[in-house]
Structure 1
Amino acid sequence: MNHGIHTIDTGFVRPRFDAAYLLVEHRRAAFIDCGTNHSVPRMLKALDDAGLGPADVDWLILTHVHLDHAGGASELMARLPNARLAVHPRGARHMIDPSQLWAGASAVYGEEVMEATYGRLRPIPAERVVEAPDGHIVSLAGRALRCLETPGHARHHMSIYDERANVCFTGDTFGLSYREFDTAKGPYILPTTTPVQFDPDALHASIRRLVALKPSAMYLTHFDHVDEVEKLAGDLHAQIDAMVSIALSAQEQSPDAAQRHEAMKAALADLYLSRAHAHGWHGNRAQLLELLGMDVELNAQGLGVWLDSLQKRAS
């Protein structure tokens, strides 16, 4: 039984890379995450496929405001006349005034790339934005969707526990699991950091918090749902520890930031390849990097920022 949960491929990067979700209860709807501006037609098509229209949507709920999850929020909300947006209190201001979010990302990627990749961000009226602190309940036609603060990937990250379905929508907290790596042993999973706010201790705690709910499945943004929750949680904990060891070793051997970064990228690729092979995946290193190259780069960046934060605290 899918409890009215529909997976939407947002079309970001490649097929089956980036997901959003449509929940339907008594012909009322909520979206969880939304992809980019370019994803909006897919979101509206999912509504139509479910026999609903834009006026039937009560909520857009964001796990966090990174642009692959939330970049299309303003464009989508403009099409949903009755919807409100629920977001962690730390993320609300970025939806009401996205100028800082845009400026920070544009400084890294450039405005031209940003517009081509995500589309222009526009403000969402403050009266349509609901801050969802830890424990906040979003009611979808009486169906309780509990917002849980789950930092580690980002300080403003929350996951959503759907009590009716007994599943969690985890954004990036419960890692990445691309379907190309599925084998007879089931799904392959790995953690995801972020270039600015990765915190391994907080991520461990957030994963433990979600597992303690004993959900039947986790619905990931990257990509779709996975079961065998306790097994996959163990895989994530082991890899977070391995990634921390890689970072500390690279820091000790390569104090130069650029050399440290390249050392971490090489070691992360080795880690993910060895685990994929142990999982029964038969691809080679080049094929792994074709699928995980962006994640290796971002995880190395996240570890680098975390190392720098340790040094600042120690000084």
Structure 2
Amino acid sequence: MAPSHGIHVIDTGFVRPRFDAAYLIVEQGRGAFVDCGTNAAVPRMLEALDQAGLAPEQVDWLILTHVHLDHAGGAGELIAQLPNARAVVHPRGARHLIDPTQLWAGASAVYGDEVMEKTYGRLRPIPAERVVEAPEGHIVELQGRPLRCLDTPGHARHHLCVYDEQGRACFTGDTFGLSYREFDTERGPFALPTSTPVQFEPEALHESIRRLVALQPEAMYVTHFGPVGDIERLAKGLHAQIDAMVSLGHAVRGEPKEKRHEWLKWALTDLYAERVAAHGWKGTRDELLEILGMDIELNAQGLEVWLDRGG
């Protein structure tokens, strides 16, 4: 994909092609990465630099939308290859970059050490002096090109999005949902919300989406996967699906956890099958599960955590 406004799309190679994106913004011979994937993505990130005509010492910033490992797992290894770069992160996420022990332990409790080692590799700490906390409104300067950080909870409380006014772009991490290219039809892209555990907050997510749309960007650069337009239509669909997911959660409040989880997975599959069919996608239910199976599992878990917190 040819860069627009100096923005390069990088496929990190995580899980499958066109699943997990990172971005490189180039301005007057300097670079800023937005997200970086896992440790295994570091060679791809450096290759993207080379293809853009930059050397590692010409990168000033690695901006992380949040510290979930598919977005930031390789941050320590990448920063070690970028001698002049600093990592920018939401204030709630900074401690996890400096000491990733708790981040690893939390994920390992779910997946186990063996799977973690194979999928993500060990997390490398970033020296504290190379970590910059970015509260609401923080400006990252890239050769006079301001990149404004926005506090955008809903998917995670440590989530930020980046508004690039010059590029007329928002880098949205997981706040503006998932938009896999497999679901593109003649009507354009399709998007669905992600309630991945453990900090799904539907009202906050609604508000964060409204904030991004109000900026009127040309494109939302989502992590999963790539830039999407037709923003008003996608936002309307995201809001409707968030409300539908909340209703599904309420429908199983008080049910035994084993029954609740399986029912939510089944109901979420029905919800997404109905939405993509209405969008003109012609795939089967098995094909849907091939694409969304992991997301459906995680969305069900996230809804359950939200219910257990009193949602």
TM-score normalized by structure 1? 0.97
**For residue 302 of structure 1, what is the amino acid of its counterpart?**
G
Aligned to 1:277: 277
Q: Within the alignment, does 1:65 sit opposite 2:67 as a pair?
A: yes
Instruction: Specify which of 142, 164, 167 is matched with residue 165 of structure 1.
Output: 167
Q: Which is worse superposed, 144-153 or 241-250?
A: 241-250
Partner of 1:115: 117
The letter for the 2-side match of 1:43 is M
Decide which of 183, 186, 198 is 1:184's aligned counterpart: 186
CA displacement 1:23-62 (0-9 Å, x = unmatched): 0000100000000000000000000001111001000000
Indicate yes or no: 2:148 matched with 1:146. Answer: yes
Partner of 1:95: 97
Number of the residue aligned with 1:257: 257
Q: Alignment partner of 1:90: what SS?
A: coil
Deviation (angstroms), 1:2: 0.8
Tell me how large the CA RMSD over aligned residues is: 0.8
Specify which of 207, 210, 223 is matched with residue 225 of structure 2: 223
The reply to whether residue 41 of structure 1 matches residue 40 of structure 2 is no
1:301 corresponds in structure 2 to 301
Q: Match for residue 25 of structure 2?
A: 23
Distance 1:286 1:250 in 2: 25
Q: Which amino acid aligns with 1:184?
A: E
CA distance in 2 between partners of 1:250 and 1:274 (Å): 20
Q: CA deviation at 1:207?
A: 0.2
Distance 1:105 1:85 in 2: 22
Deviations 1:60-107 (A, max 9, x none): 000000000000000000000000000000000000000000111111
What one-letter code is carried by the residue in structure 2 that aligns with 1:35?
A: G
CA–CA distance in structure 2, aligned partners of residues 80 and 214 of structure 1 = 33
Aligned residue in 1 for 2:238: 236
The number of aligned residues is: 309
Aligned-pair CA distance for 1:122:
1.5
Instruction: Quote the Cα distance in structure 2 between the aligned partners of 1:168 and 1:46.
Output: 20
What's the offset of the Cα at 1:251? 2.0
Runs of 4 or more off by more than 6 Å in structure 1?
none
For structure 2, list consecutive stretches of 5 or more residues without a partner in the other structure.
none
Which stretch shows the higher mean deviation, 83-92 or 243-252?
Answer: 243-252
Identity level (%): 72
CA distance in 1, matches of 2:205, 2:120: 27
Question: Quick one: which amino acid aligns to residue 191 of structure 1?
Answer: P
d(CA) in 2 for partners of 1:227, 1:220: 11
Q: CA deviation at 1:195?
A: 1.2
Q: CA deviation at 1:224?
A: 0.1
